[in-house]
Structure 1
Amino acid sequence: MSTLYFEDLETDAERDLGSYTVSRDEMVEFARQYDPQPIHVDESVAAETIYGGLIASGWYTASVCMRLLVDGFLSETASIGSFGLEELRWRTPVRAGDTIHAYHRIAEKTPSSSRDDRGYIENEVRAENGDGEEVVFWRATNIFARES
């Protein structure tokens, strides 16, 4: 497959990034390493919270979606970095056994005014669970090379 450059990318088309099923062991191990709050790692404590059981760290959910974004879009492009997230929202808790399905949309594209070798793309990523509930949403600006 040929590389997609800034000029090749169209706004508003939604791209299906695929899905990923969350395993309890992976979800808990991620939380133990990077977000060890009781609602993510301790079954008995989590059962007594408003969630009624373990939930995935939002950072885990975002990481799963980042992997889907790389595999389903960025790996095909001339992406050369990002300025970071403008918005990140965790909408609905993710639980072990949930299948997360992610989607990508280019909201806006702007050629660089100072460097003619690149352009800026505002990306939106959203994911939903098997019940169609949105679990995460983010907006970020990425830098893409322009075709020479």
Structure 2
Amino acid sequence: MIMLFALSMILAGGVTYLIYEGLRLYYKLAVRYEDPLAQFRSMVRQIGDINFFLIVFIPLSIMFFFFLTRPYLKYFDEISNGIHHLANGDFSNQVRVSSNDEFGYIAREINVASEKLKEAVERGDFAESSKDQLIVNLAHDLRTPLTSVLGYL
């Protein structure tokens, strides 16, 4: 994401610079003082060239960043839906792996976890461990009051 942010800043800076230089060249070659564009140029000069550059640069940076991260946001939403299905017990849902970056790694790991959970449920691992845990808890709860009573004797 940091790389995409830097890329959007570079693209916005380049586009803004090209717009600025193009307008400057146009004003120099083709605009007369009476023309409304010349009045616009004097307004830009009053605002300041740097401020005008920032007024154009910041929205362009945001726009480029939005368009560059859009595919990642869709893929992140797909991974999130896969996790939601997994949390609700739907182990048949598979997340599509479409890249070899961190998101692809997460999608592969979700698919592996889904398969392992499906196998564990089919084997009945959770039911058996729940019974064992219940017996251990009951034994502890029964032993604790008896220990307290024996301490008084």
TM-score range, shorter chain: under 0.3
Considering Cα pairs closer than 8 Å and 6+ residues apart, tell me whether 1 or 2 has the greater RCO.
1
Q: Hey, which of these two has a bigger chunk of strand by percent? A: 1
Q: Hey, which of these two has a bigger chunk of helix by percent? A: 2
Normalization by structure 2: what TM-score? 0.25
Pick the structure with greater CA Rg. Answer: 2
Normalization by structure 1: what TM-score? 0.26
